[in-house]
Amino acid sequence: MVTALRPKSGPARSYQFPKFHSEVLSDGIRLLVAPVEKLPVVTVLVVVDAGSSNDPIGKEGVAMLTARALLEGTRRYDGAKLAEKFEQLGTSLDSGADWDSIFIKITVLSERLWAALGLLSEVVTTPVFPEREVERLKAERLAEILQIETEPRALADERFESFLYAEESRYSKPDGGSAESVSRLSRADVEQFYRSRFISGATTVILTGDVQPDEAHELVESAFGGFPTGSTPAQPLVVAPRSGARNVHIVSKSGAPQSELRVGHIGLPRSHPDYFPTKVMNAVLGGLFGSRINLNLREAHGYTYGASSYYDWRRGPGPFAVATAVESDVTALALREIFLEIDRIRHEEISADELSLATHYLEGVFPIRYETTSAVATALANMVIHDLPRDYYDSYRRNIRGVTVGSVLEAARTHIHPGELQTVVVGDAALIREPLAELGAGVVHIHDA
Amino acid sequence: MRIPIETFHLDNGLFVTLSEDHTAPIVAVNLWYHVGSANEREGRTGFAHLFEHMLFQGSAHVGSNEHFELIQRAGGTLNGSTWLERTNYFETIPSNELALALWLEADRMGELLPAMTQEKLDTQRDVVKNERRWSVDNQPYGTMLEKLQELVFPSWHPFHHSLIGSMEDLSAASLDDVAQFFATYYTPDNAVLSIAGDFDSSNARSLVENFFGPIPRGKGKPPLSAMTLPSVFGKQLRAVVPDDVSLARLFMAFRAPVFGSEEYYASSVCAALLGMRKGSRLYRSLVRERQVAAGVSAFTFGLAKGTDLLVVDVTARPETETSQLEEEVEREIDLLLSDGVTGEEVNRALALIETDLVASLQSAGERADGLSMFATYFGEPELINEQTERYRAVTTAKVNDFITERMVEENRASLLYVPKDRVEVEEILATAAGVS
């Protein structure tokens, strides 16, 4: 039969994150080029410092709407024609906004790069935001908001953030805006947002794959010529907790067969110096299949299909959360285990075995993450958005290896605050209300879905 | 684009495919077992998938959950998945850990049963029931796959029953079922092993021979009941599902040529032309121009036996009445049938598909999975290199032939989700109207 002898690792081959070329073009746009010689494809990613955090008060959702409306028409082509032109080249345009940036992205066969990049630059530099299309996109966002009302996972995420952050924080409201704020947006708001944020000093163009820096330089310099120069002021972000005490919020969904759970508090900004020990700490707590929370809730108790914890890394302090969905009648039991695990990671050092599982995993999967031109482009975009050092990806694995059981405990003690945990449960209130009140996890509040 | 391919068989019947690529020091290991929910016996719906979970519960020389632990500790990613016709297991790992991944797969193929216990089965049964609650019961439109299977396949057909299974059948599964299923289907002659990425082919070959060679051949599996179906339903089928959803959504399915046949490619191009991306026909018409839909897509299932399905998926805008949604989609299909499609539409679809085919080859895991798929279904892993040519051979005439034969009224099955509670929808619409 199969040998009982476990094979040993062979000698590891070295890996290097793709080398990239970086320059600032004559009009102030930053260009990054990472040639990857493997397949005849190129990804082009345009990143603009214009994320949802920059939405003016009362105009929440304008960044997202602008990102979507970019594709709806340029001076030369209407939206339908643009889609047709891109897609005849075998590429399609994706655009979106996250908290920190607007991105516009294509992946195309390298022989069609010239044509596709020309079109892409039109989208970025000469959009016209037709009234009819802006109104349609608003209506589609309203449809999306309605969908979330019946989707327990998205609803739990959204409500969790609204209970975490103070009302006046942009983070307390959905990045795409609420029904109320989106309904109020106009074409003029989109135009205004675009004019104020889409300028060369806030824009980076990234090319990865089958392309060389000199070719990219020539292409981008000519295609993006005439882009308004200058830079945008940094927008101050208000971040304060909604409550200093523990609370349990039940978002009522009668008859729900499961409770969708989120437990956490405000986390850390991406730029925090404790990023690496915190990342490893989270991997041990709930970031891996073999993490404490997943093994406890799924494998020891069978309460769930999966349980995890995460930090949502943003420029400002995004949420730290444990997320899972459990059968309704074990809701309180599952929460008890989650609280126990959160306390435990703060009270004693993790074992050397747990540390090595997390660090070996994070080190090992590093090259696997960057197999595609699209993934390499996204990594470079993150470097720009978060102002990471140029050698960030070259030193990443060394930084992971530098984390110790001591620094993990220190990170847990400093950055996890059991007294501030907010619990959100989307589930059958009639069934879970009493057990949750007995749990002592804070005052129980009941809300409509 | 062509990737290099080597193949060989072990004496026990294991079919092995290799594809070297030394761009990065990583390697993908991928095993397809030619068994899926179609092979389940009556009263055991969901068993193929529950069994997939048991494969992560240890084997003779591997502890419970140790498979996950060892691969993640080695810096790799892993998972498994179950489909109607097959079950797959896969790892992508640093290339110096290839032996570990192969050994783990061999140990569970050879000696799973010594590690099986009632307790593990009970826990995984609970995990799978929670997976069902999470992905099917407590998810808008989550029942789509099982409702569609029920609607479009006759009750005697192996594709008729639910893949995730009923709670009742999951409760009934026993350790005896595990032993029997393992002996029948998890044998080297019913599997394909693919390795793609950074490895030396002679070294990989000897590892495979050492680890998998000693596993005995199976005794054969029972044949599936007849799967062939007429090319059309014969009449219009329709089912309405009132559900906890905010927006009505219509899935319209057509019987279509099986995956791998020449006609399949015309069907696949037709799906892309209808619903892939914003330049597609349905997006242009229903989302952009008429503004009755919030989203559209269209796809083929890619079933290699019996019949495939082409599915058009249209989500209504909140203010669109469900009857209007159905009429609008019907009208689009009628238009397709009466006027056919243009060369430009076919070119757009082909161009998008080609980019996706090339881009998908970037990942070692996807290369290995493609090799296993073509080897499992057709015995020809080389087909992975022929896909672009097969698609390029699709002409406008072939797409129009497909439409004429398959998009007729007697080949349409409508699965319609309607919000069971319109009140909430109306409240939100009123709020929005009040402020604009």
**Tens digits of per-residue pLDDT, B46-66?**
999 999 999 999 999 999 989
3-state secondary structure of B80: strand
pTM of the shown model: 0.95
Task: Tell me how far apart the alpha carbons of residues A321 and A327 are, in angstroms, rounded to a whole number.
Answer: 19
Q: How far is CA B236 from CA A71, B18, B27, B253, in A?
A: 38, 46, 48, 10
Contact predicate B316/B238, CB 8 Å: no
Determine the pLDDT at residue B435. Answer: 47
Q: Is A1 near chain B, with CB under 8 Å?
A: yes
Are the beta carbons of A177 and A61 closer than 8 angstroms?
Answer: yes
- What is the number of alpha carbons within 13 Å of residue B253 lying toward its C-beta? 24
Å between B51 CA and nearest CA of chain A:
15
CB atoms within 10 A of CB B228: 9
Q: Check CB contact under 8 Å for B348 and A84.
A: yes
Q: Please report how many Cα atoms fall inside a 13 Å half-sphere around the Cα of residue B307, on the Cβ side.
A: 21
DSSP annotation of A141: H
**Does residue B1 carry a pLDDT above 80?**
no
Of A14, A84, A107, the CB nearest to B359: A107
pLDDT at B421: 76
Tokens 């092993």 appear where?
B193
Mean pLDDT of chain B: 95
pLDDT of B436: 39
Nearest-CA distance A9 → chain B (Å): 5
Distance of alpha carbon A85 from alpha carbon A214, whole angstroms: 26
Query: Which chain A residues in 59-118 lie under 8 Å from chain B, judged by CB atoms?
Result: 71, 79-80, 83-84, 86-92, 107-109
Residues pairing with B254 in the sheet = B310
pLDDT of residue A449: 81
Query: Which residues in chain A have Cβ-Cβ distances shorter than 8 Å to B436?
Result: 183-184
d(CA A328, CA A333): 10
- Residues whose CB is less than 8 angstroms from the CB of residue B315 and which lie 6 or more positions away in sequence, other chains included: A143, B247, B248, B249, B293, B294, B295, B296
Query: ipTM of this model?
Result: 0.94
**In the predicted model, what is the mean pLDDT of residues B392-402?**
98
What digits encode the pLDDT tens for the residues A31-69? 999 999 889 999 999 999 999 999 999 999 999 999 999
The predicted structure's pLDDT at residue B429: 59
pLDDT along chain A (449 residues), means of 10: 85 94 95 94 97 96 98 97 97 93 97 96 97 98 95 97 97 97 98 96 97 96 88 84 96 94 98 98 96 95 95 97 96 98 97 98 96 97 97 97 98 97 97 94 93
DSSP A165: B
User: Which residues, in sequence order, are CB contacts of B23 under 8 Å at separation 6+?
Assistant: A38, B198
- Whether residue A16 lies within 8 A of chain B, CB to CB, comes out as no
In chain B, how long is the greatest CA-to-CA distance? 74
CA distance A128 to chain B (A): 17
**CA B163 to CA B86: how far, in whole Å?**
11
Any B CB within 8 A of A238 CB: no
Q: Would you say B82 and B132 are in contact if contact means Cβ atoms under 8 Å apart?
A: no
Question: With an 8 Å Cβ cutoff, are A84 and B279 in contact?
Answer: yes
Assess A38–B contact: CB distance below 8 Å, yes or no: yes
Q: Please report the number of interchain residue pairs, chain A to chain B, with beta-carbon separation below 8 angstroms.
A: 255
Coil vs helix vs strand at A86? helix
pLDDT above 90: percentage of residues in chain B? 95
Strand partners, B193: B16, B31
- Helix, strand, or coil here: A92? coil
Three-class SS of residue A235?
Answer: coil
* Residues B318-368 pLDDT 10s: 999 999 999 999 999 999 999 999 999 999 999 999 999 999 999 999 999
- From B216's Cα to the closest Cα of chain A, the distance in A is 8
- Which residues, numbered 123 to 152 in chain A, qualify as contacts with chain B under a Cβ-Cβ cut-off of 8 Å? 136, 139-140, 142-147, 149-152
* CB spacing of B278 vs A3 below 8 angstroms: no
Whole-number Å distance between alpha carbons of A213 and B36: 48
Of B130, B245, B355, the CB nearest to A108: B355
